[in-house]
Amino acid sequence: MIKVLLFFICLIVARNSAQDDSCTTPFNQDGQCISIKFCKEYLELLSKYGPSDYVSTLLRQAHCGWEGQDPFVCCPRVTVKMASTETSERIAFPPSDIAVSQNEINGLPKPPFCGLNQPSKTRIVNGVPAYLGEYPWIVALGYRNSKNPEQPKWLCGGTMITDKHILTAGHCVHNRPDLYLARLGELDLYSDDDGAQPSTSTLSKAKVHEQYNPTSYTNDIAILTLSQPHKNPTVKPICLPLDEPLKSNDFVNYTPLVAGWGALYFNGPSSSTLQTTTLPVVTNERCSRAFINFRTTTIDHRVLCAGYLQGGKDACQGDSGGPLMYSRLENKNFTYYQIGVVSYGFRCAEQGFPGVYTRVTAFVDWIQNNLD
């Protein structure tokens, strides 16, 4: 039975690289990154409930690496108490410590009006699972293609944060008059048989941060405005960390998700299918040491860094502007928050070099002030 469960876990958490270190569980508890075989809490959970949607999502969020063929999970240092009701076999998760007092703040939606997905059809691409509807806020940005005007170049990503605003990186917009399209609700950019229901929108406005520096990539953030609010029912906005405790969280030792259609390796071909992986957040001090010989880089409170020390997984060219996402259990559902915007790195997944992300919490006020 255990072998069957472990095989199932390998399918749903096809990630990479074990981190035998402290971590934070999906319940915001202190945990240790250990083999699933030694985590009594998750094994009991699987044995009792099987591969339900809740358990699958929980294990994906708890995943923190590999050792050989064994998946590692962030195992709580104290027992996680799971309870079921008489009328449902679903797990009763702890209530959120974030109260939903209103639907939005200064034009930005709040849970449960953002950050909820509806994953359905499963696709396995090169061992990395990508689910239709897993990230209904992700956007592919299209640039004019002089060689083939009918086929845009999909060079950057972004996220819907309202029904007409896209959050992306400043370097995807700065001095780029060829940026003109946004593809919403997509999974495979070049297939009509993936089950997705994408829509394409033109852009009416682009706002790059006033202090964006194209040399150092500081303040690497921008907002795009659609010509009209989208009407695609499969597209939902992601939440931003507007409230405490998320607003002041540095997310060190968390393992958020990154997603995009970027290159599969440095200077390699882009992926036609949306790719996703988990990356551990490292301290800015460690990140600064990694980039100490790069004179133009600035690692400060405006960025966060994420990646495995041994490399192997990272965002890459074409992922720029896409989201670094943290999900938390709120009212029995996983709610996704965007904590970073893909900015830059050294090559892709290079050993010793984490990726650098614009820290969203440092720019929440700017974002709210630039929605129109």
Q: Active site residue: 35, 201, 271, 320, which one? A: 320
DSSP single-letter state for residue 263: B
Amino acid letter, 214: P
DSSP code string of 138-197: EEEEEE--SS-TTS-EEEEEEEESSSSEEEE-GGGTTT-TTEEEEEES-SBTT-S-SS--
| 171 has catalytic annotation | yes
For residues 155 and 169, what is the distance between their CA atoms, to the nearest angstrom?
12
Q: Do the Cβ atoms of 261 and 140 come closer than 8 Å?
A: yes
* Residue 67 burial class via C-beta count within 10 angstroms: exposed 0-12, middle 13-18, buried 19 and up: middle
Q: Annotated catalytic, 220?
A: yes
Distance (Å, whole) CA 221 – CA 227:
20
Among the options 188, 194, 220, 314, which is catalytic?
220
Phi and psi at residue 160, to the nearest 5°: -75, 125
Residues 160, 338 contacting (CB under 8 angstroms): no
Q: Is 165 one of the annotated active-site residues of the chain?
A: no
Which listed residue (171, 188, 230, 327) is catalytic?
A: 171
- In whole angstroms, give the CA distance from residue 252 to residue 304: 9
Structure tokens of 185? 């609700």
Active site residues: 171, 220, 320
